[in-house]
Amino acid sequence: MPELPEVETIKLGLQKTIINKVITKFEAKDSKVVKFQPKNIENSKVKSIERRAKMLIINLNNDKSILIHLKLTGQLIWNMSDNGKIPDKFTRAIFYFNDGSRLFFNDLRRFGYIKLYSARDLENIPELKKLGPEPFSKDFSIEYLVQRAAKVKNRKVKQFIMDQEIISGIGNIYADESLFDAKILPTRKVKDIRLSEWKTLRESIIRILTLGIKYGGSSVDAYLDTFGNQGKMHQYLKVYRRTGQPCVGCSGKVERITLGGRGTHFCPKCQT
DNA sequence: GTACTTGTTGAACG
DNA sequence: TCGTTCAACAAGTA
């Protein structure tokens, strides 16, 4: 599942591969996934690539910006030469560049999308307008967390940190891992989290996301990076999808519950 | 054949 | 109006 570390890894890959290249042709194979007319980006040059929450923004030199959300199973894979595997039946769109390289948008479940906006409208579009601060920004402070938590006292802490309007970029994997790292049970209500625990949780979120970026993301499902390679972070996950296996921190076993309709993994001995 | 997987949105409820 | 819960979307894997 592409969360912040996976999307950040893809961003870094795109910065190495498609900056300053001209999109000579754009092929939209699925109108559910591509929400604009291909001719609106053809013959424009890629100026810069950004990440916001779990979304990628490709800024073009015609004052337009491409917004890409990979949702559950989206991939963005760049290939200078055809490796014979891609495109396949899950390829929903193809960018063709002036040097002969191509960027494939693959999405098995078709939840992802590619949209086009005017660069100057970007701050006010629905996808970005309500997002909470990035975990690596100074706005992601203890004071901010406490202040937001005060407004949703009875919410469970896992649902709180996964809320994109509160913090940008945390999904199911990194929520479970951050809470394990902070030794906090995912079911705790935010009104019962002490100040010292907020401090720990904030540090754990930053540490786990940093680790995720360092290892190039978690390939627990369909995730691949810009070059078609798996990440390595799933080798270091301590609770996510490790139900019934021994806890790495104690003699207990990892348990699984459903919280907010999502699989939630934790160690009942290490986390309190 | 059935259960399970998840990011986001919007409906429904109190 | 607000907070919260839940279904829906999709299609593969176990």
d(CA A129, CA A51): 14
Per-residue pLDDT 10s for chain A (272 aa) are 799 999 999 999 999 999 999 999 999 999 889 999 999 999 999 999 999 999 999 999 999 999 999 999 999 999 876 666 778 889 999 999 999 999 999 999 999 999 999 999 888 888 898 899 999 999 999 999 999 999 999 999 999 999 999 999 999 999 999 999 999 999 999 999 999 999 999 999 999 999 999 999 888 888 889 998 899 998 899 999 999 889 998 988 999 999 988 999 999 999 99
DSSP secondary structure code for residue A100 in this structure: S
Report phi then psi at A126, rounded to 5: -55, -35
In A62-194, which residue ranges form alpha helices assigned H by DSSP?
126-129, 142-149, 157-162, 172-181
Measured in angstroms, what separates residue A3's CA from nucleotide B8's C1'? 13
Catalytic residue numbers of A read: 2-3, 54, 262
Q: Read off the pTM.
A: 0.94
Spacing of A242 CA from C13 C1' in Å: 17
CA of A41 to C1' of B14 (A): 48
Nearest residue (Cα to C1') for B8?
Answer: A71
